[in-house]
Structure 1
Amino acid sequence: MKNRVVVTGLGVCAPNGVGLENFSKALNSGQSGIRFYNELKELNFSCQIAGKPNIENIDLNQYFSKVQLKDLNANGLLYGVIAGVDAWNDATLEKSTAETPDWDAGIIFGTGILGVDKFRESIYKLDKGDVRRLGSTSVIQTMASGISAYLGGILGCGNQVTTNSSACTTGTEAILMGFERIQEGKAKRMLVGSCSDSGPYVWGGFDAMRILPRNYNDNPEAASRPMSANAAGFVPGSGAGTLVLESLESALERGAKIYGEILGGAVNSGGQRAGGSMTAPNNTAVQRCIQEALSNAAISADAIDAINGHLTATSKDPVEIDNWQQALQRKGGEFPYINSFKSQIGHCLAAAGSIECVGTMLQLDQQVLFRNANCEDVHPDILKLVPTDKIPKKTLNFPVKIIAKASFGFGDVNACLIFSTYTE
């Protein structure tokens, strides 16, 4: 008998809200976190807008020691530690203060690239021959596993502490990996999630690819338009999202609040075949991933009440909708409700899946479906498949039990999770 896995803690550092309360209010109201950045204009970016968490008023002493804060210059790491520690606290778990770590608690925390600004700073010092001035934290701030290493030390976790990286599927994949570890009895609780750095050295490559919107620099909040006929490319974002996963037995034993349950999930790759490429999905693989997630969760396609899509506001949005329709074999009015948080936060890259999974859990906990912003003009190819009332323009209050969440990433990789309300 495999362990049931529930969610007992949430933490988030998103462009439209840092902390659960702020993030929840923003999603409910449709508040955008996308802003114009003069720095991008000065660097001649075509797209001069982005989604970036505002942590200026956050007391970092609540999260780091004075020694850790010295020379700390990795914003993705900051976002990840804030979200991770907040999730741990939200789950009412204690940091291990004894010499012995908590052998039952582990971390899988992903990232795409970490510490770009710190890496750039180090390169300049090296080029000047100032190797002795790099400081003692340059390695841990720039290695991909630096985020899980920081969190592992802060919380005292003694189970598996590692980092995954799989482009835009990173966060969703990390959650599935933690789920499977608890399900198999290898851990009692896992802190899972992902983070992404912010700034021009992360976003510049996408601007060079000409896949970012360039006509909304004067109207940034209207720029990210998932499922819209006027979608002009994804708005780059950053941040972190975190979930505390726990065996149901452990959660009940300590009387923890349960946000919901993970029923199952799946990951796969299209192998960059049959239309799939480094930047485009193999549609058959996407559909298989969704169907395998349903099978792993032991539910039928008819059980899905809502979908939180990947939906990045590009020309691929209608293709994604068609893949959902093909995978679920639910057409017209039978199609589930569907939304995308990217209209408010942009595409947070490696952090996208985890931030959006936090939002998905909030929907289950509050029994709502958050609105789609900037989607007044639904793409005609989508309307051929999905009635407009299944794409809510305002937050809906209605009984929602099961939500499917998927992420698709560069390299033709896919991940899908099935979340549910908790029932005994």
Structure 2
Amino acid sequence: MTRVVITGLGVCSPNGTNLESFEQALISGTSGIRFQPQLRKLKFSCQIAGNPHIENINLNTYFTKVQQRGLNSSGLVYGMIAGQDAWRHAGMLPASAEKPDWDSGVVFGTGILGVDKFREAIHRIDEGETRRLGSSSVIQTMASGISAYLGGTLGLGNQVTTNSSACTTGTESLIMGFERIRSGRAKRMLVGSCSDSGPYVWGGFDAMRILPSTYNERPTEASRPMSASAAGFVPGSGAGALVLESLESALERGAPIYGEVKGGAINSGGQRGDGSMTAPNSEAVQHCIRMALKDAGVSGTELDAINGHLTATTKDSLEVLNWTKALGIAGSDFPLINSFKGHVGHCLAAAGSIECVATVMQLYRQMVFGNVNCGDIHPEILSLIDAECIPTKSRETPLQTIAKASFGFGDVNACVIFSQYIA
């Protein structure tokens, strides 16, 4: 069976818009969650969020002059930055102008793409100015716009597609690309996901009253995964991207290898049992974790660390419980576990990919990044695992195998197993 390795990483996140700044923020526990004046003006209860600051990024590096005309899609911009950075990080160049690269493809997911472009278009149409919409309205607002932009910019001739599975999207895209390479249908796949910024994306969650409303003056303290004082998830946005490649191709190119994808699993709880549109079916979560381990040929006791979904809500304790049941491990024997929601908020469709990038960085650096705002671990969690399993500061530690999972609205799940590359 074809081995699949990671040869490139890219990120555009609330606390770092390139790999170096992102890594330093994760190590130091720096949050990218900020007060958003626009949300106060619009009378949101939660007036904080995490969004990438890209004002100093030269978009000429990522878009042609023609592509920049009428560009009004934050998720598309984030995805193009992360995706192209990952491709360059892997030592890859765009295909020649004459012929696509038949061996390389892209699976890049999103939730809502181009919501601000939609709003702009609706106003023009309502004002009878349809002809002034511009030629880019469709491609900036179709869900597959991000994969189409990346595929065309890089000249990718294999599968070019977009997936969408709520908060599971980014992790699912990685597993989809992994399976395509493992089956021999591609040599390289650019995988990842992106999410738009702004009130038209975040408003629905504010209306559901699942966002924290008491931290508007203290934004960096608001997202508190696994904490007794967790008050809801903080919305975020951005993009993460990884280049997956067959080991044979990577060695042939002399490419850097940052880790190996050992296996993964995707499933749904069918909104049965304790599952619903907004809550996970615990049995399905446990089944997904077990199937990922089986696919990877790894036992639960071999996991050195876990990067959970852990959104800083009341469901965090249930997630840890599901991990203990799926692995059959609890107490002091439980792996180290962390969440990056305290650093960047919950980046929705981009969450899985941004967190996959961070998880691979942990593996490559042999370091577990600390949990932010987790000084008061929830007592229900402490009844399951020891406090030492939840690091609050980053620390170097031997890491061979890490699990990363995402669970999304619609009762959908994805879990991937990464390992250190060994020849």
Indicate whether the TM-score tops 0.5: yes
- Deviation string, structure 1 residues 159-181 (Cα, Å, up to 9, x no partner): 00000000000000000000000
Map of 1:131 onto structure 2: 130
In the TM superposition, what are the counterparts of 1:270-419 in structure 2 within 5 Å?
270-419=269-418
Deviations 1:131-166 (A, max 9, x none): 000000000000000000000010000000000000
Following TM superposition, by how much is the alpha carbon of 1:99 offset from its aligned partner in structure 2, in angstroms? 1.1
Counterparts of 2:334 and 2:389, CA distance in 1 = 7
Q: Deviations over 1:108-138 (max 9, x none)?
A: 0000010000000000000011000000000
Distance in 1, matches of 2:291 and 2:382, equals 26
Task: Quote the Cα distance in structure 1 between the aligned partners of 2:412 and 2:238.
Answer: 21
Residue number in structure 1 paired with 2:25: 26
Q: What is the root-mean-square deviation in Å for CA atoms of aligned residues?
A: 0.4
1:93 is aligned to 92
Q: State how far apart, in whole Å, the 1-side matches of 2:343 and 2:330 are.
A: 27
Runs of 4+ with deviation above 4 angstroms: none
Q: C-alpha deviations, 1:56-80, integer Å up to 9, x for none?
A: 0000000000000010000000000
Deviations along 1:222-271, one digit per CA (max 9) or x if unpaired, are: 00000000000000000000000000000000100000000000000000
Alignment of 1:65-144 (within 5 A): 65-144=64-143
CA distance in 1, matches of 2:133, 2:230: 43
Paired position in structure 1 for 2:203 = 204
**Alpha-carbon separation, structure 2, partners of 1:310 and 1:11:** 20
Listed as ranges, the gaps of 5+ residues in structure 1 are none
TM-score by length of 2: 1.00
Q: Which amino acid aligns with 1:43?
A: L
Counterparts of 2:372 and 2:106, CA distance in 1: 33
Opposite residue 178 of structure 2, the aligned amino acid is F
Task: State the SS of the aligned residue for 1:333.
Answer: coil
CA offsets, 1:383-412, max 9 Å, x none?
001111110011110101100000000000
Q: Secondary structure at the match of 1:277?
A: coil
SS for the counterpart of 2:361 is: helix
Secondary structure in structure 2 of the residue aligned to 1:241: strand
Q: What is the CA-CA distance between 1:98 and the residue it aligns to? A: 2.9
Report Cα offsets for 1:354-390 as digits up to 9, x if no partner: 0000000100110000000100000000000111111
Alignment match, 1:241: 240
Alignment partners' CA distance in 2, 1:158 and 1:19 = 27
Q: Distance in 2 between matches of 1:62 and 1:90?
A: 14
CA distance in 2, matches of 1:77, 1:266: 27
1:29-51: CA deviation from partner (whole Å, max 9, x where unpaired)? 00000000110000000000000
CA distance in 2, matches of 1:168, 1:243: 17
CA-CA distance at 1:333 after TM superposition: 0.6
Secondary structure of the structure 2 residue equivalent to 1:141: helix
Give the AA of the match of 2:105: G
Alpha-carbon distance in 1 for matches of 2:45, 2:97:
52
| Identity among equivalent pairs (%) | 69
Name stretches of at least 5 consecutive residues in structure 2 with no aligned partner: none
2-structure distance, mates of 1:281, 1:74:
31
Count of paired positions: 423
Which SS does the other structure have where 1:177 is aligned? helix
Corresponding residue number in structure 2 for 1:181: 180
2:189 is matched by which residue type in structure 1? M
Partner of 1:17: 16
C-alpha separation in 1, matches of 2:21 and 2:265: 31
Letter in 1 for 2:104: A
1:215 paired residue number = 214
What is the match of residue 259 of structure 2? 260
**CA–CA distance in structure 2, aligned partners of residues 422 and 37 of structure 1:** 41
- Distance in 2 (CA, whole Å) between partners of 1:38 and 1:302 is 47
CA distance in 1, matches of 2:148, 2:369: 34
Letter in 2 for 1:163: T
Q: Secondary structure at the match of 2:332?
A: helix
Displacement after TM superposition at 1:97 (Å): 2.1
Matches of 2:343 and 2:242, distance apart in 1: 21
Please report how far the alpha carbon of residue 194 of structure 1 lies from its aligned counterpart in structure 2 after TM superposition: 0.1
- State TM-score, norm by structure 1: 1.00
- String of CA shifts for 1:263-291, please: whole Å, max 9, x gaps: 00000000000010000010000000000
Q: How big is the shift at 1:94?
A: 1.0
- The one-letter code of the counterpart of 1:182 is I
